[in-house]
Amino acid sequence: MCIRDRIDGGRSLGSGTGAEIAFQTFEEEDYEGRNIVDPLIQWMKDNPHAHEYAVQAFLGFESGDLTSRVRFSTGGRLLDMYLQITEKTRELSILIVEGDDFTYLVDEGISRRSHRLAVGRVERDPDDRRIVNIFSTQQAPTTEKTRDFMSLFLSWWNEGKPVSR
């Protein structure tokens, strides 16, 4: 099931390789109040990755924001996760791409205050597969959708944070 379908409740799709992560379901109380942001900020400083221009523009990159990217798989699904955090406000943007589908969430300090959720498709350069365009549809960041998305992020975080690429 692709990330977009997991959030939207749809079909099974996608396979690949990468650091295999066991998907775990987390409830809000599993991460609420835990200080994940400070260790995440340090991890991102240790594992920087400059995003493609289209990803920077979509995430609203500003000078000083920290950015990282990781590739991992879960249940045979290959995922690229683009992370961006504004250290001062602790606003975290997470873009998870599976194939040409993506889901995007903005969260304040890894809490229940997710204030933006979008799904869509990416367009890639045919030669080097870089993301060159992003087409999205905003969705309400419901508790269920946010929980499913954050569960995927926290599954990666709890599995040892593979080195970014």
5 has pLDDT over 50: no
Residue at 164 is within a domain: no
The rounded mean pLDDT for the chain is: 77
CA distances from 62 to 74, 86, 93, 96, 101 (A): 31, 8, 12, 20, 25
Residue at 48 is within a domain: yes
Model's pTM, two decimal places?
Answer: 0.78
DSSP string, the chain: --HHHHHHT--------SEE-------HHHHTT---HHHHHHHHHHS--PPPHHHHHHHT--TT-EEEEEEEEETTEEEEEEEEEETTTTEEEEEEEETTEEEEEEEESSSS---EEEEEEEEE-TTT--EEEEEEEEE---HHHHHHHHHHHHHHHHTT-PPP-
Host domain of residue 123:
3-138+147-158
Residue at 165 is within a domain: no
Q: What is the pLDDT of residues 90-140, one digit of tens each?
A: 889 999 999 999 999 988 766 555 568 899 999 999 998 899 999 999 887
Residue at 8 is within a domain: yes
Residue at 163 is within a domain: no
Tell me, what's the pLDDT at 132? Answer: 96
Indicate the number of domains in the chain.
1
Mean pLDDT on 4-32: 44
Residue at 93 is within a domain: yes
% of the chain residues with pLDDT over 70: 69
21 within 8 A of 159, measured Cβ to Cβ: yes
Beta-sheet pairing, 101-108 with 116-124: antiparallel
Q: What is the pLDDT of residues 129-159, one digit of tens each?
A: 899 999 999 887 676 777 778 878 888 887 7
Residue at 78 is within a domain: yes
Residue at 152 is within a domain: yes
Mean pLDDT on 31-42: 73
